[in-house]
Structure 1
């Protein structure tokens, strides 16, 4: 008979989870013993970083990633990134070592009390198996749940002496996770869309995540309807160079009301209705929502909800629609190119980045206070070309860029990270260096928490402490982990610095000092 460890290794091979993201401790050593040559162990220097790396890898591959954490303390360190993975719908199988079963009644050092409860409610499923021989089946169960739409993280706590216990091999299984929407509801939606005079599409990250992008483009073109990106979309919502792309919805009720007022029907694809960040009053036209996320449909304040796969449902919906004869909407008015100035305007940095970056590069962004400037001056033309976090929790972007680079070998990954965000997970640079990944890290250094500056304006708050971040030397911090770096303080230095960074075979960091003045993030229209 096989051991638990041998059976689990075979299971991980079958599931395509041979890249393991981890930060090891004593209770994981039996799992790591005699590490097999066909597995890759990606070492992160803190557990939150480990989970964010796995999250980026899972989202970029569309397959579950495997994380190995250390007991309760390690899961506690990782809790913020587990929350982000839950909001990102990233399929993860997270395991954590537990003390030996014989010690658990004695409240041992490093023992996790009620281990399966600890990461809840931000995992889809969680367990500490009752018997050692149940561990392989528990991990298989976790993988199936993680991959079921909407995807998300799962958790298995494993006592350290379980790995050597005998366990029978698992029988092979084949499971399909996608379910098609109700045909009657699709027909009703098609009738409403055909009768609409001024429809608009609001598209969220689920379209890109589920491979439904081409079908969404075909539907928009058939309707001749403008397309808006949903608030806080954590992936590309629509190719931003397409003539039907009309811009981005803000996460403010009055702004959403104003943006949707010209339309008589809103078709929301793969997004909630709607994600807000500030309070206010809103009014919506009639809404039809399609998503795999039942919670998003239940939470919608109005309209029709159609639950099911967008990849399967959108072609069916398009086939039910007549070709629209209305004139195509006018193209979106693009802002002028920012002028160079001192201090460097953030928009000028993103404009230069858009001009210089490799055509197939991937943007991973965590500079929330600069998001309006990024949306204005750094267009994303391709599906799979953009990732950010859906949770609002800082520390995701840099380790996620490492995970994306591991998932997409040969493609340049550009991590656009605010200076405040960078300090949450800067140790991920060490992993990027160790793995020799083509990651260009651009630190947008405005010497403070820009979002806090902006919200202070919105809320009328003055002289709040803890907003300024003077004295951070990112090139020196990068050099301490073996990553080459440059400091950029003048507009004319940006283009040659980008050229040098993109030519580097491995990671390189650019710290760009930008204007600390931040525009108000949320306006009424």
Structure 2
């Protein structure tokens, strides 16, 4: 007899979903029974960590991913990073266990009430199939929804006894391709770019998600436009050391309008208009003429200004490049970076990132979660890789960076992965170091320890005094990391940092570099 489990495993093989992230429970036994030798199960010690690892794996490897969660409680634990996956446009299938069907009317122990509603609205689609025989088809549909632009997570709840039911084989369907821009809309944008005297591009995570950084570099150079990165961007979509790179737009409306003042045309590629974090008043100025290219109809619909063009970003960029001739306007100058910071005691965050810039190769995959040092990183450690140079979170659920780096190392084993993390962020998901050691992953984790949740104080402002609940001093990260099987370095003086980084980057084991920095936060803007 061919079972639901047999058909599903054949389907997962055909879709390349044989690496599964999870933390197993009793409702998952039917799915995991007789686990095939050609599948890989990556164990995380808590469900939110499993989801974040899967997210990093998907983005680093440029593929869909399957994460297996445990009934209602496990899904609840994982929801913070399901939200992150939704914001990060991660093609993720969340496969959750459920109690056996015969017990569900009695609201049993481990039963999930109305399971498909639980992860909404942060999944593109959610289902608990009506019959066991419908499970493989539901998973196939979930895959196609997750991998159809705009990418995003989906959810399938499966009762524990469905896996042993009889099922018919499922036909294999090819992936659904992306789509290009409407010709008349593209022609309007070409005319606007041709007539502009000082255009600017704003690039967002959608550029890197489609592997289109080389394409957007070629476009920027051809049209002689400066390039801003969009606010709160969770991927680096333009080389940050390029001579036409202007920096990152601030995550608030007034600053963004002021930054774009002086341009007569703004072309936004693969980013919202715009994703803000704080409100500091409005500007007397208005945005210049604006075109927005996105594959997401919701991004296009909620933009308050500009002309929307729905398209895959790479397809639009290439169509633009093919339609434009090089203009006569001068090549714009990019940003001027601040001079290298001096060595000082206590160690400054500026010194940490400047030293890292000396040590990291151009193609390193940097994973960051440093809320209080983000602007400093951008100033002194530019991301230079032309594909997946940076992974971060577009959602705001803390604890993403450490497990995402573990998943990224699994998803891109040919890349060197370096995570730069705050002490507070690290403690949300420190257990992921155990998985890094278990999987023998050569990841370097640099924990920048300012002994507090400094981002809270920065946003509160000095006029509000010291905020409660922000002090974290005294966490022994080297001790924690060593207890889970990682190699460690403790850095307390500036001269120790270079040798620690050199050693960690050369190590084929997961290594934590714990750097004690000045607890007084630096604010560049």
TM over 0.5: yes
- Quote the residue 1:504 is aligned against: 507
Whether the aligned pair in 1 keeps the contact of 2:11 and 2:172 (CA below 8 Å) is: no
The alignment yields a C-alpha RMSD, in angstroms, of: 1.1
Q: How many residues align?
A: 521
1:490: which partner in 2? 493
String of CA shifts for 1:221-255, please: whole Å, max 9, x gaps: 11100001110111112012222111111102221
Name the counterpart of 1:451.
455
1:316: Cα distance to partner? Answer: 1.2
Match of 1:340 in 2: 343
Give the corresponding residue for 1:387. Answer: 391
Judged with a 3 Å threshold, the aligned counterparts in structure 2 of structure 1 residues 520 and 331 are, in CA distance, closer, same or farther, namely closer
Which residue does 1:142 correspond to in 2?
142
CA shift for structure 1 position 410: 3.2
Which residue of structure 2 lines up, in the alignment, with residue 65 of structure 1? 65
1:361-440 → structure 2 map (5 Å cutoff)? 361-382=364-385, 383-440=387-444
What SS does the corresponding residue of 1:228 show, helix, strand or coil? strand
Distance, in Å, in 2 between the alignment partners of 1:360 and 1:321 is 30
1:381 is displaced (CA, Å) by 1.0
1:111 matched residue in structure 2: 111
Whole-Å separation in 1 of the counterparts to 2:491 and 2:404: 24
- Note the alpha carbon deviations across 1:106-161, whole angstroms, 9 max, x for none: 11110111011100000000000000000000000100000011101000000000
5 Å matches for 1:77-116? 77-116=77-116
Q: 2: distance between equivalents of 1:425 and 1:177? A: 35
Provide the rounded CA distance (Å) in 2 between the counterparts of 1:371 and 1:94: 30
Counterparts of 1:475 and 1:504 in 2: how far apart (Å)? 16
- Residue of structure 1 in register with 2:282 after alignment: 281
- Following superposition, the deviation at residue 63 of structure 1 comes to 1.4
Partners of 2:450 and 2:29 in 1: how far apart?
A: 43
Check whether the contact 2:226–2:334 (CA below 8 A) recurs between aligned residues. no
Cα distance in 2, alignment partners of residues 443 and 418 from structure 1? 6
User: How far 1:332 sits from its partner (Å)?
Assistant: 2.4
Q: Does 1:480 align with 2:495?
A: no
CA distance in 2, matches of 1:56, 1:342: 35
Cα offset, 1:489, TM superposition: 0.7
Task: Tell me by how many angstroms 1:462 deviates.
Answer: 1.4
Matched, 1:45 2:45: yes
Deviation at 1:485, TM superposition (A): 1.2
Instruction: Name the structure 1 match of 2:230.
Output: 230
1:317 aligned to which of 313, 317, 320:
320
Deviation at 1:277, TM superposition (A): 1.1
TM-score by length of 2: 0.98
* Uncovered stretches (5+) of structure 1, i.e. residues with no partner: none
What is the TM-score normalised by the length of structure 1? Answer: 0.98
Measure, in 2, the Cα distance between the counterparts of 1:410 and 1:202.
30
Work out the CA distance in 1 between the residues paired with 2:210 and 2:508. Answer: 31
Residues 295 and 313, structure 2, Cα contact 8 Å, conserved in 1: yes
